[in-house]
Amino acid sequence: MSRVFVSQEIVDEALEEFEGTGITVDLRRDHTPLPAAELRAAASTYDGLICLLTDRIDAEFLAACPRLRVVANVAVGYDNIDVPAATRAGVAVTNTPGVLTDATADLAFALLLATARRIPEGDAFLRAGRYTHWRVNQEQMGVDVHGATLGLFGLGQIGRAVARRARGFDMTVLYHDVQRLPAEDERELGVTYAEFDELLARSDFVSVHAPLLDSTRHRFDAAAFAAMKPTAMLINTARGPIVDEAALAAALREGMIAGAGLDVFEREPEVDALLLELRERVVLLPHLGSATGTTRREMCRMAARSVRDVLTGKRPENLVNTELADRLVAGP
């Protein structure tokens, strides 16, 4: 009989995916991540694992879990998993793309608006009892979003969803990606390809939607901020290490760029102390991109379905290491 370990608390409805399969599921009812050694020990006798992006699944973990056949990450990104090591060990890796696209795109645009219009600052100002009268030169003077130029770094599913939302604000949308879209797709989305330096130089807002890779780590560094408009703002809902936080804090403090809205951080949940000190035109959120009840429930169910499918000899819907597909269908 196959056994599944769930490393952290997920929604109970996800466990319904295992009904009638004979698969035993042990759900750890705790929302704090286990230290690496404890996670290895806890999962060592299981056939399947449902994990979160705060769990590090590396070669050492895989060696300690010889029965493991599938790791399902409750996230679209999987930089917390050593996929080549999993493939060598014959362990399927799955993620949860698609279902969180719109929720994350909504949050990215909300973060853009909140930063541009200084909404958190206005809220704090009013709650502190400092709003005594309306004035032309308001303390929280923002910048226009409508008609501005939006630069998208990465044009996957979430980037495209943000581009569609930008239409409603009559924005000019540029994008940079490792692979350029066909001209017909560019026209349909209303986007224009730009080299990275051009994207930085022309954009009023730069929104990050790329995966974390060696090539994207610290892609936004001091040189990148120096190339941006002094009135520009950076939005990041992708992965924290794509942005050099120390360089960002310095760029904001020195007026190299005007603002930033961040939902993810370089050493999450730690946030650079210099960023925390900045109050104006800097909005910081605790990784809320996919945080709607509907989205998180479906992410958990999707991960559970993936584990169920692998353990019952089927190909999961979101297999990352596709080279294992034939072996999975053949069964153990």
What are the residue numbers of the active site? Answer: 239, 268, 287
Residues in the chain: 332
CA neighbor of 69 nearest in space, from 46, 39, 97, 40: 46
**CA-to-CA distance for 303 and 49, rounded, in angstroms?**
9
| 32 secondary structure, DSSP code | S
- The residue type at 231: T
**CA-to-CA distance for 247 and 231, rounded, in angstroms?**
17
| 319 secondary structure, DSSP code | B
Biggest CA pair distance of the chain:
72
Give the orientation angle of helix 157-167 with respect to helix 101-116, to 10 degrees: 50
What does the block give as tokens for 57?
Answer: 């699944």
Angle (CA) 7 12 18, round 5°: 80
Q: Which helix (H) or strand (E) holds 151?
A: strand 149-153
